[in-house]
């Protein structure tokens, strides 16, 4: 059964629920100059006789057509049958139309829809002919929204949207009764509410999803500081075809906001400093978070290690689909231990009973504890600062593998990923000339710090764990690896001969290895780097290595691969001349530092030839790059790619003029989380056509004392899970595990719906 994903959007409202979502196209600036691309706002046109008399307004998007009458809203979506001959389309026939009608029961029958937010555009129709045979011209004005006043006493209803979705807001005045709202959905065979609180409507064999509401109020204290209070709110089935909104106790003298864009949001911390560094979702709704805590009172649940063992410990926590804490554990020894990255996967390993193993939770970071917990280790911890890599069962109650990795200096890992066979790949930085190496492509360690890439076999199926590949990457300056990804070579399916891609930063003017580089020299004080190795388990080869940057400082902070094995990196840039593509959404540097997104096609650099050898002849290509930021400091820290190959980025913004699309709220003034979704034209790239990149979503998120996102992941519904740290007492929370900031900074975990 096909699912149509609904989005939602709210302002100062009680309820606003999206109706459907399909990506739209971007708009070029009228003057031909550069501008931020965006998704066009939905146009509602008035009915001047061009359609049925009962219809007052109509709006069209990829989701279908929304018809607004005096007492109902009808969403119609046509289906078509396409006939082809020899690949060519010869006919397109409508086969069916799926429609659902929403009515507001028990309300006023005198609420007349009126167009609001008039636009400088209109539609022209020609209908029939007048007495002298001239076609009759009809002019239908365009509006950005349609408002029904007083559908219930003190409650207005507003419809709006964009090319991706329809949205409706119930705006409840102070003192009005939100419980009066009751919606009837005709045309839906069944209504149900899933475990996340989403409303599911089975309509003609399709499932329409309306996201669960999130309710809060902002209360201003005597010192002028706003504190956000979460209010319980959810859908309730009032009848087989009817829905109400159950809203908890709130102050009826203040505006009430129900924001379905936030699924859940919570603090996580104790009486000292805490930070969430990375997040991953297991494909079934469970979200795993890794970070560090210096708080003895950090929240634990079903803990493998119930108490903090040292100065600061790593932590690993799991949340279910409703944001409830399933498990949370300290992890570390008597020194300082930090978790920097987390991954979850079910490797292609069989248990004794023949079933598939996993899922397992893979975590990496750094440890300064000589007594750090180990299991089947490749190397025991030295007590200096070493890399650590550990594997847990899905419920975090058993340690399956744990090892240190390092030399005499400072060593740390920043990112982790696994292949189908359970091999682990990590990247980070090392200041140890004796850092363990296996089949290195660079044996020499230079004076300061080198990046490293390593592949480990944790032997989860039995036997001794082994280090399979490990190499330096660096020059005469300093390098650190921040992101790592794996790709299949394409010809030897099932073989563990993937290519490894890594991204990070370098300030080396000399001796940094460049191979088939798009940029062969350091552009500024610090540049990003992008590198790729292939055939790592047999005869590793560095097939690509390049600088990427402008004349100032540029930092690559994370890397993922999309479905076509393109390398997607997120950055912080301070360069006015960072190389960007002609189709950049934002073509110029706007402030004291911008976030940036860059996409490179490295997929053909090394492929298996028909004779079983390797073909290294192809070249790399930068297929997309853009700035994203306002007039102050903006930074991209984490990136994820959804199943449609849209890039989701998270980081930090200090810009009140950050380019926004469907923002969660305005900038709050002391540094906010930055969250954005960018369509970089991947579908067009797949089809070999001109890409049309678009900024689909961009918003600040936070309180009034400062907040930053460090990591992000996205599930199959394009829900974003953002983690980081907050100094704010009023960071937005919803269904929180922990309602208040115990002692700034606390870790934060937020799920944002799309």
In this model, does residue 94 exceed pLDDT 60? no
Nearest 5°: the CA angle 292, 706, 647 is 75
In this model, does residue 194 exceed pLDDT 70? yes
pLDDT category of residue 12 using cuts at 50, 70 and 90: very low
pLDDT category of residue 693 using cuts at 50, 70 and 90: very high
Choose the weakest-confidence range: 80-84, 288-292, 363-367. Answer: 80-84
Over the chain, what is the mean pLDDT? 84
The Cα 61–Cα 414 span in angstroms is 42
The residues pairing with 76 across neighbouring beta strands, listed in sequence order, are 65, 99
pLDDT value of position 265: 93
pLDDT category of residue 98 using cuts at 50, 70 and 90: low
Query: What average pLDDT does this structure show over 654-667?
Result: 90
pLDDT category of residue 488 using cuts at 50, 70 and 90: low
pLDDT value of position 297: 94
In this model, does residue 31 exceed pLDDT 70? no
Nearest to 475 by CA among 451, 497, 452, 446: 446
In this model, does residue 198 exceed pLDDT 50? yes
Query: What average pLDDT does this structure show over 144-171?
Result: 81
Report residue 251 CA to chain centroid gap. Answer: 33
Nearest 5°: the CA angle 437, 439, 442 is 70
pLDDT value of position 77: 66
DSSP notation for 530-585: EEEEESTTTS-EEEEEEEE--SS-EEEEEEEE-TT--EEEEEEE--TT----TT-S
pLDDT value of position 355: 54
In this model, does residue 403 exceed pLDDT 50? yes
pLDDT category of residue 23 using cuts at 50, 70 and 90: very low
Highest mean pLDDT among 89-93, 419-423, 623-627, 660-664: 623-627
Choose the weakest-confidence range: 19-28, 34-43, 283-292, 318-327. Answer: 19-28
pLDDT value of position 205: 73
Per-residue pLDDT of 345-391, as tens digits, reads 988 775 555 555 779 999 999 999 999 999 999 999 987 899 999 99
In this model, does residue 154 exceed pLDDT 90? no
Other Cβ atoms less than 10 A from the Cβ of 249: the count is: 7
CB 449 within 8 A of CB 472: no
DSSP state of 350: B
In this model, does residue 496 exceed pLDDT 50? no
The Cα 454–Cα 472 span in angstroms is 9
Choose the weakest-confidence range: 331-345, 396-410, 489-503. Answer: 489-503
Query: What average pLDDT does this structure show over 257-284?
Result: 88
Q: Where are the beta strands (DSSP E) in 226-301?
A: 226-231, 233-239, 242-247, 257-258, 262-268, 274-281, 287-293
Per-residue pLDDT of 307-359, as tens digits, reads 999 999 999 999 998 899 999 999 999 999 999 999 999 887 755 555 557 79
pLDDT value of position 37: 32
Please write down the HEC assignment for all residues of 60-93: EECCEEEEECCCCEEEEEEEEEEEEECCEEEEEE
DSSP state of 39: B
Rg value, the chain, Cα: 27
pLDDT category of residue 604 using cuts at 50, 70 and 90: confident
pLDDT category of residue 424 using cuts at 50, 70 and 90: very high
DSSP state of 105: T
Percent of the chain with pLDDT over 70: 81
Per-residue pLDDT of 720-749, as tens digits, reads 999 999 999 999 988 899 999 999 999 999
The Cα 277–Cα 22 span in angstroms is 32
In this model, does residue 597 exceed pLDDT 50? yes
DSSP state of 525: S
Residue written as token pair 């011209």: 137
pLDDT value of position 723: 98
For residue 683, report the phi and psi dihedrals to the nearest 5 degrees.
Answer: -65, -40
For residue 424, report the phi and psi dihedrals to the nearest 5 degrees.
Answer: -105, 135
Other Cβ atoms less than 10 A from the Cβ of 95: the count is: 9
CB 340 within 8 A of CB 277: yes
Other Cβ atoms less than 10 A from the Cβ of 202: the count is: 15
Question: Positive or negative, the Cα torsion across 120, 124, 130, 132?
Answer: positive
Choose the weakest-confidence range: 234-238, 304-308, 430-434, 638-642. Answer: 234-238
DSSP state of 727: -
Highest mean pLDDT among 129-138, 170-179, 488-497: 170-179
β-bridge pairing 2-4 and 206-210: parallel
In this model, does residue 492 exceed pLDDT 60? no
For residue 684, report the phi and psi dihedrals to the nearest 5 degrees.
Answer: -65, -35
Nearest to 564 by CA among 625, 645, 452: 645
Q: How many CA atoms lie within 13 A of 576 on its CB side?
A: 1
CB 397 within 8 A of CB 304: yes
In this model, does residue 40 exceed pLDDT 80? no
Highest mean pLDDT among 113-127, 135-149, 220-234, 414-428: 414-428
Greater confidence (6 vs 655) lies with 655
Please write down the HEC assignment for all residues of 585-610: CCCCCCCCEEEEEEEEECCCCCEECC
Q: What is the dihedral of CA 730, 732, 738, 739, to 10 degrees?
A: 50
Pair of tokens at residue 10: 């709210």
pLDDT value of position 215: 65
pLDDT category of residue 218 using cuts at 50, 70 and 90: low
Choose the weakest-confidence range: 75-84, 490-499, 615-624. Answer: 490-499
Cis peptide before 359 (omega within 30 of 0): yes
Q: What is the dihedral of CA 385, 389, 395, 397, to 10 degrees?
A: -60
Give every CB contact of residue 475 below 8 A, 6+ residues apart in sequence: 446, 506, 508, 509, 510, 511, 512, 513
Query: What average pLDDT does this structure show over 573-594?
Result: 96
Residue written as token pair 């936070």: 702
């Amino acid at each position: 059964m096909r699912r149509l994903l609904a989005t939602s959007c709210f302002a100062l409202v009680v309820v606003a629920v999206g109706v459907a979502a399909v990506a739209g196209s971007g708009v070029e600036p009228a003057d031909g100059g550069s501008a931020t691309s965006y998704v066009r706002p939905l146009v509602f046109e008035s009915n001047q006789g061009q359609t049925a008399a009962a219809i007052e307004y109509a709006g069209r998007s990829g989701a279908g057509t929304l018809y607004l009458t005096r007492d109902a809203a009808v969403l119609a979506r046509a289906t078509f049958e396409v006939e082809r001959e020899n690949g060519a389309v010869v006919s397109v026939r409508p086969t069916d139309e799926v429609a659902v009608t929403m009515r507001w029961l028990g309300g006023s029958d005198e609420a007349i829809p009126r167009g609001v937010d008039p636009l400088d555009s209109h539609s022209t129709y020609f209908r029939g002919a007048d007495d002298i045979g001239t076609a009759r011209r009809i002019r239908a004005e365009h509006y950005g929204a349609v408002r029904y006043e007083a559908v219930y006493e003190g409650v207005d209803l507003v419809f709006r949207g964009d090319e991706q979705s329809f949205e409706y807001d119930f705006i409840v005045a102070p003192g009005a009764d939100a419980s009066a709202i009751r919606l009837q959905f005709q045309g839906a065979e069944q209504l149900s509410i899933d475990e996340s609180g989403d409303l599911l409507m089975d309509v003609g064999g399709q499932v329409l999803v309306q996201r669960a509401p999130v309710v809060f109020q902002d209360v201003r204290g005597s010192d002028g500081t706003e504190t956000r209070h979460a209010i319980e709110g959810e859908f309730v089935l009032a009848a087989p075809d009817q829905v109400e909104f159950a809203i908890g106790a709130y102050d009826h003298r203040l505006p009430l906001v129900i924001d379905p864009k936030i699924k859940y949001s919570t603090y996580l911390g104790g009486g000292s400093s805490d930070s969430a560094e990375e997040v991953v979702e297991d494909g079934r709704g469970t979200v795993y978070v890794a970070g560090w805590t210096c708080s003895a009172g950090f929240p634990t649940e079903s803990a493998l290690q119930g108490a903090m063992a040292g100065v600061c410990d790593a932590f690993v926590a799991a949340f279910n689909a409703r944001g409830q804490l399933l498990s949370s554990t300290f992890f570390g020894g008597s020194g300082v231990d930090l978790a920097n990255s987390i991954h979850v996967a079910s490797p292609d390993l069989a248990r004794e009973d023949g079933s598939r193993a996993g899922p397992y939770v893979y975590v990496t970071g750094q440890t300064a504890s000589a007594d750090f917990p180990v299991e089947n280790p490749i190397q025991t911890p030295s007590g200096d600062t070493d890399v650590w890599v550990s594997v847990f069962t899905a419920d975090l109650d058993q340690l399956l593998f744990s090892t240190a990795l390092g030399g005499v200096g400072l060593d740390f890992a920043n990112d982790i990923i696994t292949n189908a066979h359970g091999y682990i790949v990590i990247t980070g930085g090392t200041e140890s000339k004796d850092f363990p190496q296996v089949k290195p492509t660079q044996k020499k360690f230079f004076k300061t710090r080198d990046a490293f890439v390593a592949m480990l076999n944790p032997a989860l199926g039995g036997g001794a764990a082994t280090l399979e590949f490990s190499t330096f990457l660096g020059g005469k300056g300093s390098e650190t690896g921040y992101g790592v990804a794996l790709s299949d070579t394409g010809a030897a399916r099932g073989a563990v001969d993937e290519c490894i891609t890594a991204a990070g930063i370098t300030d080396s003017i000399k001796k940094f290895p460049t191979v088939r580089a798009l940029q062969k020299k350091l552009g500024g004080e610090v540049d990003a780097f992008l590198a790729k190795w292939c055939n790592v388990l047999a005869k590793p080869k560095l097939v690509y290595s390049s600088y990427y940057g402008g004349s100032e400082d540029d930092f690559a902070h994370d890397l993922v691969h999309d479905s076509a094995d393109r390398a997607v990196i997120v950055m912080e840039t301070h360069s006015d001349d960072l190389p960007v593509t002609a189709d950049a959404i934002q073509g110029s540097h706007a402030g004291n530092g911008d976030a940036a997104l860059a996409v490179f096609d490295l997929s053909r650099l090394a492929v298996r030839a028909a004779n079983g050898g390797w073909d290294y002849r192809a070249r790399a290509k930068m297929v997309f790059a853009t700035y994203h930021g306002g007039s102050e400091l903006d930074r991209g820290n984490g990136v994820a790619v959804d199943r449609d190959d849209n890039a989701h980025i998270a980081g930090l913004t200090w810009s009140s003029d950050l380019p926004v699309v469907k923002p969660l709220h305005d900038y709050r003034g002391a540094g906010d989380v930055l969250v954005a979704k960018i369509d970089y034209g991947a579908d067009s790239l797949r089809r070999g056509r001109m890409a049309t990149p678009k900024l689909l979503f961009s918003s600040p998120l936070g309180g009034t004392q400062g907040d930053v996102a460090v990591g992000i992941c996205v599930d199959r519904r394009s829900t974003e899970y953002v983690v980081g740290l907050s100094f704010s007492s009023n960071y937005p929370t919803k269904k929180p595990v922990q309602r208040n900031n115990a002692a700034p900074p606390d870790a934060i975990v937020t799920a944002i719906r799309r």
